[in-house]
Structure 1
Amino acid sequence: MNIELPIQQVLPELKKLFREQDTGVLIAEPGAGKTTVVPLSLLEEPWLNGRKIMMLEPRRLAARSAAARMAAALNENIGQTVGYRVRMDTRVSQATRIEVVTEGVLTRMLQQDQGLEDTAMIIFDEFHERHLHGDLGLALALESRAMLRPDLKVLIMSATLDPDPICTLLGEGTRTIDCPGRTFPVETRYVSKPASAVLEEFTAQTVVKALEQQEGDVLVFLPGAREIHRTERELSKLNLSSHVEVHTLYGSMPIERQDEAVRPAVEGNRKVVLSTSIAESSLTLPGVRVVVDAGLSRASVFSPRTGMSRLVTQPVSKASADQRRGRAGRIAPGVCYRLWSEEVHDGLPEAARPEIASADLAPLALELAAWGVQSPAELQWLDIPPAAAYGQAQALLRQLGGLDDTGRITPFGRRMNALGVHPRLASMLLRAAELGLASYASMLAALLQEPAGLRSSGSAGAGTDLRPRVEALLMASSSGAPQAAAGVADIAAVRRILQESRQLRTALGPAPEDPERPGEDSCGLLLSFAYPDRIGQRREDGRYLLSSGRGVQLSQAESLSRSAYLVAAEADDQGADARILLAAPVGEQLLLDYGADLIEEDVHIAWDRSTRSVRAHRRLRIGAILMKESTIAQPPEDQVLEALLSGIRTEGQDCLPWTKSSRQLADRLRFLHRHLPGWPDLEADHVSAELEDQLSPFLAGMRSASDLKKLSMPDVLLSGLSWEQRQQLDREAPTHIQVPSGSRIPVDYSRPEDPTLAVRLQEMFGQQDTPRIAGGRVPLTLHLLSPAHRPVQVTRDLTNFWRETYFEVKKDLKGRYPKHYWPDNPMEAMATNRAKPRS
């Protein structure tokens, strides 16, 4: 029975739109039929003029499925009028007029032919998913339209996209066509999972309930392969009817098993398909009338700070939940079981963050450099790549050799980009080929592209070390028996890795054959070419410091734990020290021999607080890792001097050999700096610039605190003064003041703002005014002492003391010191440094 799809209602309007203009947006709800009907309906349009329609699908499975359904509608085989291009699989011919491609493939095609001369239209399907390569493909297509192909038509299709921003991006006059209505209604039931329930157990129970209560097949959405297989095991415990087939569906599955999962069930049977978000859009699963949605998705989140990505499981957006629900209404009324509450649903984000906002941007930065732009701002984006992440991506590409210092792509970078793998792996492959390790590197790169990383618990694959995995795969390749690596992963995964490895080895072109048995450190060396920022050096406590400065650790003791150096191909990027998931050891000498472009050599001359001396070393570093350090016997004197001065600043003035007289001299100079212009600043609490200048000529040949003891601080201090200043120093800041008794009393300058003179009161008889220094500008603060040298009065106004206070003091002192001289007129009396004046 042919069912008229909702999209057919708007086809005349869509055709009219593209006869009049070159850009448009189609919003059609899930189940409307846009993916397969729209390209076929445009095949006879006059503007095609013998050229192709290219349709971008975000996922490989969706691309192959869409091409198959369109070919079947034409009663043709795939590769005739309708074909597809996905990674590792292409089915097109000279007769192909509709090509369904995945996002990375579109980018490759645009790079090879920026004008896409054989293409009349590009359709971006399910654009709401906002994958990184989808955004990049659109930006490049719009640039191609602006510069080379103003006639290139662009159609954006989605079920949940907000059309206004995309219309603005596509340009003035871009119109939106809405296709409302699902084929059949879908009832939504909220079945909130209790907090104590295990996700997989609760999901399996809900599936059984749905099978009992509803008709048709059941599509179950789970966040990842791990949860899918656990739910599969839970279902096997629940004694399902023999007429219920349970299938799994996720991206890294073999194509044959993916096709089996989306095929209609055997007549009389019902299917349960446990899927990731791969089935969220563009796929039609015949017979599905029930959706069970766990409400979770898994995404890779990149950290520009650490250069690492980590997988996070997060709630879906409302838009994704609607897409999933729509899978149940394709052939008949359906039911969607949501494993969360309505209150939780109200709090979900409207749409998921675009991948460009949180992804590793190194592939995008290399693509843009190959396109000929250095800044994303040169192109048009729905969301421009974040500056921090893009800057980090460019820094990595420079480290890998893909970009020069100006941000332009290098010849090596063009070769990297042509391989079509992540720039890290591309750099590794090219450098491995130069070393005669092309086959080994191809196998390693294919392994590292596996989503699960082959971390299963097989004997050869146990632990973190990558080497046994690669060796098992090489053995399977040479023997032609995938089961030889069955201890590492399932046979289907091994076949997929071997196929990818062969394609990568072919893409590298002619290269020397690998040695019969690569060296023990070959794996680690190759990883260092891909992950120069993840070379790790073992610390004393067994953890590792990466060259990026990030700390990492092995989760348990294993063979790698004894390695002085390793390269972490994968880490979880959580906590203060990330957990290493995949790594291989590498020797220090190999890093020194082959990492010349990574090694920074510097001479480090600095003050060592532990030895209180200047130490001079030559250091070899890879980022934050100190590889080697050697002592320099004759370091440059100017650098030694700067380090010694830095040490003096660090230690403070106490490291200098101050004596009582040199401290008094420094205090006198500070006093003059405070009260007279043009005098050096010798602050007591730090080593001033002026003191450094005066010290420098005296530090030749010195390197330590013990050498500093040889300094003569008076000579240092006086060296900065002219002959006139020395005369002025003695005149304006004398060391002693001669008082009326004839004694020379030292002046205390320890408080430059308030110099003092401590003198016995009897020695000041006959002195009418307070003594002054600094050319009479500054009165001394007099500490007048008793005959026993105890303070009896502090004053800066001696005249007032004699007139007002002396007689009170005299009464007290005369009683305590009756034998001493206490005149009635101190301003006229004779001063004495004895008990009484001489006759």
Structure 2
Amino acid sequence: MNEQARQAPTFPIDELLPRIRDSLAAHPRLVLEAPPGAGKTTQVPPALLDAPWLGGQKIVMLEPRRVAARAAAGFMARQRGEPVGETVGYRIRFENKVSARTRIEVVTEGILTRMLQDDPMLEGVGALLFDEFHERHLAADLGLALALDVQSGLREDLRIVVMSATLDGERLAAFLDAPRLSSAGRSYPVTVAHFPGRREEALEHQARRAVEQALTQHPGDVLVFLPGQREIARVQAALEASAASASADMLTLHGELPVEQQSRVLQPDPDGHRRVVLATNVAESSVTLPAVRVVIDSGQAREPRYDPNSGFARLDVVTIAQASADQRAGRAGRVAEGWAYRLWPESQRLEPQRRAEIGQVELAGLALELAAWGDANLRFVDAPPSGALAAARELLQRLGALDGGAITPLGRRMLALGTHPRLAAMLLAPTQASERALACDLAALIEARDPLRSRSDAVAERWQALAAFRVGRVGGDASRSALAAIDQAAKQWRRRLRVDAPPPASAPPHLLGDLLLHAFPDRIARQHPSDPYRYQLANGRSAKLFDDSALYGEPWIAISELRDDPRDARVMRAAPLDEQRLRSDFPKRFVSEDRVVWDSALRGIAAVREQRFDRIVIDSRPLAKPDPSRYADALVDAVRQLGLQALPWTPSLSQWRARVRCLRASLPELELPDLSDDALMATVEQWLKPVLSGKTRLDALSEQELGEALRSQLDWSLRQKIDALAPTRMAVPSGMERSIEYAFDDAADTPVAPVLAVKLQELFGLADTPRIAEGRVPLTLHLLSPGGKPLQITQDLRGFWDRTYPEVKKEMKGRYPRHPWPDDPWTAAATHRAKPRGT
């Protein structure tokens, strides 16, 4: 190690490094908490290289962001006086700087997943480090779940370290059954203030004012956190038009920047000029920006969100968590005392921690990874939502990646590409070299930010702008930098797929759609026969064009981007496709079928012969002689549409259902079936369909048949127990039988106490409140006057006789003189009659 390495700076985490090594010698897992500036990212991996338990194997560190991965590897290499790629290297998408001598590999999330899938034994790897785990990216959660599975079943010697500046360490340590170590940080005091916005002021103007004030009142560089590149461009334009541009250099930092520009931002200005760095949350952790003394925080980030009702994923601008706000502010105190301006009201409260991405994004990639792993029951810190996972698997079926629940050969090829399954399916679909090159262009366009400033919904216009850029022409509504990035990404895809052919200089618009349909098989859409602006989608939904759409009049389109709307989804990006190509590529999805369905408009059964592509009805004609055996299915569908209220409920049947639900809650050991609305609707085909056989209308179902269908879920002995434990009537001391009314509170998911309404005189001599269900459920007594009006509602009959009855007697005796009102109700004879005349 040379002189430069020996003069490496010290870090707060240095004194904790021996305890980290000792802990991993005794236990295979560790949770390490260290605030920004502690040095965990760059000091922990080298400190473990000579640990005896590592045995000369490699350390792989997961770094969520490419900027941070390059920066961390570069810093560790410089500490050793070596170039990147020797002892320390990195691997990120489309870039690999490792060698046979590399023992510390810094990798981004997709790379780690591929390593685990390709070699579950992780030959030659002794430790996995998960840095910045608090960001809770989906790939990090998956990587940890896979690593834990490997450690428990194949590699007990594998060490797993989860590191973060801000996370719930106690919860994570309990989940991992791991020790927890915490390091001090190295930071100076940071003064936090909330910079007031003006009425209806745009973010770029508020940020400009804050930057101008920071440059005037404070020393050092200024770091501005913004949601994304769009906001960065707006703030940059506002600053360049202000006095701030004369006093500081304006720089940007985000994940799409070329490496050279990223390196410039991460190094001090050689001439000592002040700088204003406009950054996304890539600057939040694992990278150090020198000389920053002021942080201006918009309080926002652009993160993926998934709507399970629509199945559409989108990037939304969201409010950051308090932990992120604290971490951003801490960037101002890395070199000296600093200042942080927050561009939101002080009264606004943030969530404590960032929510896990696994609960908010589309899960097709995760579902494909789990299918390839062969075990969907992995241990996740937060389990994936079942609804989103089911939707993801349905999409994978359409893409041809899954057959049933098993991954197909195509699915494995898609997985190897390391991109979203939609794009992977499109990249692998074409057989001609020119079409494969065009698919690379489309993949790059879909992944990138929009290169056009216009609102056009035509994918073709974006590809044509890319083709024009390649011959030196850039239109007025196109971004040169965006097109350059897309062109570079397309080249990387062609290299990755070994496509020798150059991208075509021109292509008919339908050819773009012919390729896109492989990425978006659920969004293949056909023009509605009665509304040319509306399209039926293969997934059963509908979407609408804008009034000025460039796609107007196209019979078939493939939609690459949809915006959800309360009434209609909107087509944001699409391309026309050729129906013959669609039939050629997906012949099995075109079907002709006779259907007997419930027509909600007619409120009756309709029999039709349909030609469909998936759920798109291409042609539908009445069927003269439908199959009678299919009527029951149509009537079951009717109940699904109309709800259980469409069935012929009688009061006695509703009471029987309430009695069963009451006993199910009170006597769970009986194991009675769930008769809630949700449960009955979920199982309607099992219990209702048999009694609908041979019927053509719902109103042909009798009350008796409905009752038998419900009771069929219980055997004879249980039916007898229900009658005994939850009777419909009860004998009272007067010798009469009175009805018991049952009810269930669906909102609270709990039974309402059954009601026994009875005249007060009929209960003389009865001390305790009657009960049912083996004495577990007291009845609610409605004690009635001789005229049948409630005098008291109670579940404490003894208390009523002792405390309330004397007042009731005093008030009622004069009103009902012909009925008994004894002084002692305990010994009086119960009766349902009035006193004989003359007594």
Secondary structure in 1 aligned to 2:295?
A: strand
Q: Is 2:542 aligned against 1:551?
A: yes
Q: Which residue of 1 aligns with 2:351?
A: 349
Q: Is the 8 A contact 2:223 2:294 kept in 1?
A: yes
Instruction: Tell me the TM-score normalized by structure 2.
Output: 0.71
Report the Cα offset of residue 607 of structure 1: 8.9
* SS of residue matched to 1:196: coil
Measure how far apart 1:588 and its partner are.
Answer: 3.4
Structure 2 Cα separation of the partners of residues 306 and 272 of structure 1: 41
Distance verdict in 2 for CA 1:640–1:197, change over 3 Å: closer
Residue 308 (structure 1) shift? 0.8
Q: Is the 8 A contact 2:322 2:351 kept in 1?
A: yes
- Provide the residue aligned with 1:5 in structure 2: 11
Q: Take 2:47 and 2:169, find their aligned partners in 1: how far apart are those partners? A: 22
TM-score of the aligned structures, taking structure 1 as reference length: 0.71
- Alpha-carbon distance in 1 for matches of 2:415, 2:91: 18
Return closer, same or farther for 1:562/1:186 CA change in 2, 3 Å cut-off: same
Deviation of the 1:487 alpha carbon: 6.1
Offset of residue 555 of structure 1? 2.9
Assess, with a 3 A threshold, how the Cα gap between structure 1 residues 688 and 421 changes in structure 2: closer, same or farther: closer
Matches within 5 A, 1:519-538: 519-538=508-527
| Counterpart residue number, 1:188 | 192
CA apart distance, 1:153: 0.6
Deviating beyond 6 angstroms after TM superposition, the runs of 4 or more aligned structure 1 residues are: 510-516, 606-615, 637-644
**Cα distance, 1:86 vs. partner?**
0.6
Residue 267 of structure 1 is matched in structure 2 by 271
Once residues 443 and 508 of structure 2 are traced to their aligned partners in structure 1, the CA distance between those partners, rounded to angstroms, is 17
- Letter paired with 1:442: C
Unaligned stretches of 5+ residues in structure 1: 648-681, 693-839
| Whole-Å separation in 1 of the counterparts to 2:402 and 2:123 | 29
- Using the TM superposition, give the Cα deviation of residue 161 of structure 1 relative to its aligned residue in structure 2, in angstroms: 0.8
Alignment deviations for residues 73-120 of structure 1 (CA, whole Å, 9 cap, x no partner)? 112111111111011111111111111100011001111111111111
Distance in structure 2 (CA, Å) of the matches to 1:80 and 1:369: 36
Q: Does 1:470 align with 2:463?
A: yes
After superposition, residues 187-206 of structure 1 pair within 5 angstroms as 187-206=191-210
Contact 1:165 1:382 in 2 (8 A): no
Q: CA deviation at 1:593?
A: 3.2
- State the SS of the aligned residue for 2:141: helix
Cα distance change, pair 455–13 in 1 and its aligned pair in 2 (3 A): same
1:456 and 2:453 equivalent? yes
* Structure 1 counterpart of 2:585: 594
**Residue 526 of structure 1: how far off its partner (Å):** 1.6
Percentage identity across aligned positions? 42
Offset at 1:632? 5.8
> Where in structure 2 are the equivalents of 1:509-524 lying within 5 Å?
518-524=507-513
Match of 2:127 among 121, 128, 132: 121
Structure 1 contact 437–513 (Cα < 8 Å) conserved = no
User: Do the aligned partners of 2:561 and 2:574 also contact (CA within 8 Å) in 1?
Assistant: yes
State whether residues 310 and 573 of structure 1, in contact with CA within 8 Å, keep that contact through their aligned partners in structure 2: no
Structure 2 distance, partners of 1:190, 1:609, is 56
Instruction: Check if 1:257 corresponds to 2:261.
Output: yes
CA contact under 8 A between 2:467 and 2:506: conserved in structure 1? no
One-letter code aligned to 1:234: A
Decide whether the 8 Å contact of 1:472 with 1:488 is kept in 2: no
Q: How does 1:302-341 map to 2 (within 5 A)?
A: 302-341=306-345
Q: Secondary structure at the match of 1:342?
A: coil
Residue identity matched to 1:322: D
CA contact (8 A) 2:437 2:499 kept: no
Specify the code of the residue in structure 2 equivalent to 1:154.
Answer: I
Q: What's the CA shift for 1:42? A: 1.9
Contact persistence 1:617–1:630 (CA under 8 A): yes
Q: 3-state DSSP class of the match of 1:343?
A: coil
Tell me the secondary structure at the aligned position of residue 548 of structure 2: coil
Whether the aligned pair in 1 keeps the contact of 2:596 and 2:634 (CA below 8 Å) is yes
Aligned residues: 641
Change (3 A) 1:608 1:292: closer
- Alignment partner of 2:429: what SS? helix
Instruction: Tell whether the 8 Å contact from 1:169 to 1:380 is kept in structure 2 after alignment.
Output: no
Asked if structure 2 preserves the Cα contact closer than 8 Å seen for 1:531 and 1:567, the reply is yes
* SS across alignment from 1:433: coil
Distance 1:491 1:606, change over 3 A: closer
Alignment of 1:83-482 (within 5 A): 83-171=89-177, 174-240=178-244, 242-344=246-348, 347-373=349-375, 375=376, 378-405=377-404, 407-433=405-431, 437-450=435-448, 452-457=449-454, 463-474=456-467, 481=471
- In 2, the alpha carbon distance for the partners of 1:200 and 1:391 equals 41
- Partner Cα separation in structure 2 for residue 475 and residue 419 of structure 1: 28
Q: What are the superposed Cα offsets for residues 119-152 of structure 1, whole Å, 9 maximum, x if unpaired?
A: 1111100000000000000011111111111111
| Aligned residues of 2:450 and 2:482 also touching (Cα < 8 A) | no
Q: Hey, what's the Cα distance between the residues in 1 that align with 2:439 and 2:600? A: 47
Change in CA separation of 1:638 and 1:554 when aligned onto 2, cut-off 3 Å: closer
Deviation at 1:158, TM superposition (A): 0.5
Instruction: Provide closer, same or farther for how the CA distance between residues 123 and 609 of structure 1 changes in structure 2, counting only shifts above 3 A.
Output: closer
Identify which range, 195-204 or 594-603, moves more after superposition: 594-603
Mapped to 1, the partners of 2:487 and 2:416 lie a distance apart of: 20
Cα deviations by residue, 1:633-687 (Å, 9 ceiling, x for unpaired) = 776687799999x99xxxxxxxxxxxxxxxxxxxxxxxxxxxxxxxxxx9x9955
Q: Does 1:504 align with 2:519?
A: no
2:585 is matched by which residue type in structure 1?
Y
Q: For the structure 1 residues 231 and 607, does the alpha-carbon distance in structure 2 shift closer, same or farther, using more than 3 Å as the test?
A: closer
After TM superposition, give the deviation of residue 168 of structure 1 in Å: 2.3
CA–CA separation in structure 2 for the residues paired with 1:636 and 1:159: 66
1:326-350 CA-to-partner distances (Å, cap 9, x unmatched) read: 1111111211111223321xx2100
Q: In the superposition, relative to structure 1, how do residues 575 and 260 fare at CA in structure 2: closer, same or farther (>3 Å)?
A: farther
- Pairing of 1:678-757 with structure 2 (within 5 A): 687=700
The answer on whether the counterparts of 1:31 and 1:329 sit within 8 Å (CA) in structure 2 is: no
Contact 1:262 1:286 in 2 (8 A): yes
| Structure 1 Cα separation of the partners of residues 393 and 698 of structure 2 | 46
RMSD (CA atoms): 3.3
Q: Which runs of 5+ in 2 are unaligned?
A: 1-6, 639-694, 706-839
Q: In 2, Cα distance between the equivalents of 1:642 and 1:106?
A: 48
Give yes or no for contact 2:464–2:506 (8 Å, CA) kept in 1: no
Q: Distance in 2 between matches of 1:471 and 1:241?
A: 35
